[in-house]
């Protein structure tokens, strides 16, 4: 399915689309545009070049830029957490129809916040435009990524139209956030190649997904790399042991000027497909493989540590696993941080958010309780009707509240007042202990009843 179409559905508030796994993926991929955002790329094209530009341009303030960027980062991070929580909720109530109004409301607010982020991004990048204009000659050479918001056919756009072009490119980056990951790998596109100046190759789906791409013509054994195949071939006879047979085949053909090769995705409707009107080719076979797996395949690899994050490219999983669990600073909104000061900055910024204490911490008491006493205490906890868990069953339960104005960037009206983490613990051990809770005052059940 076309990304554009999906996004259109997304904005058309088709509730069923929520169940689409690739939309779930949307939430986890909201972060990449941050890394791929044009502002960030402009900022660090090349240290030397930057120095040069800085001397030319007095009014460009890197500190202010950094400020803007970190603000944006925080906003996007937050929005991500929020969409994440929506997705989490979806998971929980999957199978039940969603109230149309609620979806629309959430949709609107998410879109509103996205828009505000985009506007912020543009104003940040807009401040840089004079700087961009000053370096038309160096820009394509030193920072290929800049091309992303240059028109395909033009070198340095004029200052006036720059903003609208920028807007365009930003839209691209938000709609097609999957691509940014490819760009991160270092295979950024956007060289100013005119259509027809390069050869387009399109591998078939099976070829892309095949574990091996090089097969022995004699025994049929498959290999991932041609070099390995050549090593293998040596076993089949002395004729394969000559230096010519062992040499890299490309070396021979390097003499004739080959047409630049670019690749197309076999998925119809994909922007990386050659039939797409805004076709953006992929640079290498590796790009094709990663793109296809990430965008058009199931996420088969689940992180064994958190059991929630899923990936279709095993390298992505490994990258994730390196950092998984290190985000130990947790906010009540579900957002995690790898640094404590970032968490506190987040909490200081938003109303109603509070640090979430890890569960294993709750077992601590102020001393050794004698056994009889502690069990008595636990019983009491179980029996006390004072534990009104209306908001504490799940943080997301309170997000359910359709009456509350739900704005992701302003939680003032959202009731997070409940006790978030700790009370869950005593009830974790048995289903039955939860039963009495769900009977009366629990707003979570009320809400799901309405659903």
Interacting residues toward other proteins by CB under 8 A:
340-341, 344, 347-348, 352-355, 357, 361-362, 364-370, 373-374, 376-378, 380-381, 384, 386-388, 417, 419-423, 426
Closest distance between other proteins and the C-beta of residue 331, in Å?
10
| 271 three-state secondary structure | coil
Closest distance between other proteins and the C-beta of residue 348, in Å?
5
Closest distance between other proteins and the C-beta of residue 342, in Å?
10
Give the residue with the Cβ less far from other proteins, 366 or 432.
366
What six digits make up the tokens of 39?
A: 């502002």
- Provide the b/e sequence for 214-244 (b: ≥16 CB within 10 Å): eeeeeeeeebeeeeebbebbeeeeeeeeeee
Q: Residue 15: which of 94, 110, 114 has the closest Cα? A: 94
Residues in a beta bridge with 302: 310
Closest distance between other proteins and the C-beta of residue 393, in Å?
15
Residues 408/82, Cβ–Cβ less than 8 Å: yes
CA 265, 178, 37, 161 dihedral sign is positive
Give the residue with the Cβ less far from other proteins, 160 or 364.
364
Give the residue with the Cβ less far from other proteins, 371 or 449.
371
Give the residue with the Cβ less far from other proteins, 126 or 423.
423
Identify each DSSP E strand in 197-246 by its residue range. 198-202, 214-215, 222-223
Give the residue with the Cβ less far from other proteins, 12 or 368.
368
Closest distance between other proteins and the C-beta of residue 381, in Å?
5
Give the residue with the Cβ less far from other proteins, 63 or 386.
386
Give the residue with the Cβ less far from other proteins, 221 or 328.
328
From residue 374, give the alpha-carbon distance in Å to each of 336, 365, 366, 370, 421: 33, 10, 12, 6, 21
Closest distance between other proteins and the C-beta of residue 397, in Å?
17
Closest distance between other proteins and the C-beta of residue 429, in Å?
14
From residue 350, give the alpha-carbon distance in Å to each of 116, 164, 353, 416: 16, 32, 6, 12
What does the alpha-carbon distance between residue 404 and residue 134 come to, in Å, rounded to a whole number? 50
Closest distance between other proteins and the C-beta of residue 388, in Å?
7
Three-state DSSP string of 69-101: HHHHHHHHHHHHHHHHHHHHHHHHCCCCCCCHH
Give the residue with the Cβ less far from other proteins, 238 or 385.
385
Closest distance between other proteins and the C-beta of residue 160, in Å?
43
From residue 103, give the alpha-carbon distance in Å to each of 90, 109, 291, 449: 11, 10, 30, 17
Residues in a beta bridge with 407: 410
Other CB atoms within 10 A of residue 271 CB: 20
What does the alpha-carbon distance between residue 141 and residue 151 come to, in Å, rounded to a whole number? 16
What does the alpha-carbon distance between residue 311 and residue 36 come to, in Å, rounded to a whole number? 20
Closest distance between other proteins and the C-beta of residue 312, in Å?
36
Give the residue with the Cβ less far from other proteins, 24 or 347.
347
Which DSSP state fits 235? G
Give the residue with the Cβ less far from other proteins, 9 or 415.
415
What does the alpha-carbon distance between residue 170 and residue 176 come to, in Å, rounded to a whole number? 10
């Amino acid at each position: 399915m076309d990304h554009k179409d999906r996004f259109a559905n997304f904005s058309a508030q088709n509730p069923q689309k929520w169940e689409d796994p690739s939309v779930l993926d949307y939430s986890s991929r909201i972060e990449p545009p941050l890394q791929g955002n044009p502002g960030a790329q402009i900022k660090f094209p090349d240290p030397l070049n930057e120095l040069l530009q800085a001397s030319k341009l007095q009014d460009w303030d890197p500190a202010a830029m950094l400020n803007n960027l970190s603000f944006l980062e925080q906003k996007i991070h937050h929005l991500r957490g929020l969409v994440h929580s929506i997705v989490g909720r979806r998971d929980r109530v999957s199978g039940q129809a969603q109230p149309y109004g609620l979806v629309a409301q959430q949709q609107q607010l998410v879109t509103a916040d996205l828009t505000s982020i985009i506007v912020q991004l543009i104003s940040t990048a807009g401040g840089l435009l004079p700087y961009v204009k000053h370096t038309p000659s160096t820009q394509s050479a030193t920072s290929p990524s800049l091309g992303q918001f240059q028109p395909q056919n033009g070198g340095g756009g004029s200052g006036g139209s720059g903003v609208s072009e920028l807007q365009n490119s930003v839209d691209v980056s938000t709609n097609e956030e999957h691509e940014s990951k490819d760009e991160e790998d270092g295979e950024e596109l956007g060289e100013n190649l005119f259509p027809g100046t390069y050869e387009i190759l399109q591998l078939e789906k099976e070829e892309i997904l095949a574990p091996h791409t090089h097969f022995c013509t004699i025994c049929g054994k498959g290999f991932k790399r041609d070099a390995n195949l050549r090593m293998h071939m040596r076993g089949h006879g002395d004729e394969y042991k000559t230096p010519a047979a062992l040499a890299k085949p490309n070396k021979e053909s390097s003499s004739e000027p080959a047409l630049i090769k670019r690749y197309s995705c076999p998925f119809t409707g994909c922007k990386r497909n050659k039939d797409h009107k805004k076709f953006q080719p992929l640079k290498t076979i590796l790009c094709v493989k990663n793109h296809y797996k990430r965008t058009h395949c199931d996420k088969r690899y689940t992180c064994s540590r958190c059991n929630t994050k899923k990936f279709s490219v095993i390298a992505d999983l490994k990258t994730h696993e390196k950092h998984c669990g290190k985000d130990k600073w947790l906010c009540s909104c579900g957002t995690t941080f790898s640094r404590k000061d970032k968490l506190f900055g987040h909490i200081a910024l938003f109303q109603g958010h509070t640090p979430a204490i890890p569960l294993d911490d709750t077992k601590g008491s102020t001393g050794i309780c004698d056994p009889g006493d502690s069990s008595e205490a636990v019983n009491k906890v179980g029996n006390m009707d004072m534990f009104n868990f209306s908001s504490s069953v799940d943080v997301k339960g309170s997000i359910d509240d359709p009456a509350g104005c739900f704005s992701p960037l302003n939680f003032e009206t959202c009731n997070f007042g409940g006790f978030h983490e700790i009370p869950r613990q005593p009830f974790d051990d048995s289903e039955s202990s939860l039963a009495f809770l769900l009977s009366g005052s629990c707003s979570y059940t009320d809400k799901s009843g309405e659903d």
